[in-house]
Structure 1
């Protein structure tokens, strides 16, 4: 069991996948807000503020929690995606799907 699953079990934070997804969406919005503020809405290089780091952590926690609730191995999923993109880049020079 992952650290996130153990944490959620310990503190009674289990949610069904649908509510986990809503939480991830909410946290992603908060990260977007902080990123916009950290770059002055794209007018300067991003400043890595404590708030930006905290919101990134919240998104990462929400994503890993969703993976746990769905029985997805995040590392395995990442490896499969990297292999897919590597294959696309080698074949066409683009990471996008055809």
Structure 2
């Protein structure tokens, strides 16, 4: 993931797309909202869950926004993912569920 994060950072820099992390977070939420919209529309708002359709382009937009945010916050996305996987593994071993239970 380190390579992808560097590619996003270079793209942002090359195209003068710098913006504060707060705006990056809002962009990420907006992009995730587009995924939800696609899911809602393709499943008749949940009535036909097996019919879900989400484009890879929209997933790519979410990844771009997330990696740009991580870079702005000086968070290594790969390390953050490893930490999350370890956390979920611990939860599964302890409780049988990856959920935080909140």
**Normalization by structure 2: what TM-score?**
0.84
Structure 1, unpaired ranges of 5+: none
2:60 — aligned with what?
57
RMSD of equivalent CA atoms: 1.6
Which residue of structure 1 lines up, in the alignment, with residue 45 of structure 2?
A: 41
CA distance in 2, matches of 1:46, 1:68: 35
Choose which of 58, 82, 93 in structure 1 pairs with 2:85.
82
Distance 1:46 1:63, change over 3 A: farther
Counterparts of 2:43 and 2:100, CA distance in 1: 30
Structure 2: segments with no counterpart, 5+ residues: none
Q: 1:73 to 1:42 in 2, by over 3 A?
A: same
Structure 1 runs (4+) greater than 3 angstroms displaced: 46-49
Q: Is 1:19 paired with 2:60? A: no
Count of equivalent residues: 96
Offset from partner CA, 1:47-88 (integer Å, 9 cap, x none): 435xx3222111111111100100111111001100011011
C-alpha separation between the residues in 2 aligned to 1:40 and 1:54? 21
Instruction: Name the CA shift for 1:93/1:33 in 2 (closer, same or farther; >3 Å).
Output: same
TM norm structure 1: 0.87
In 1, Cα distance between equivalents of 2:96 and 2:30: 34
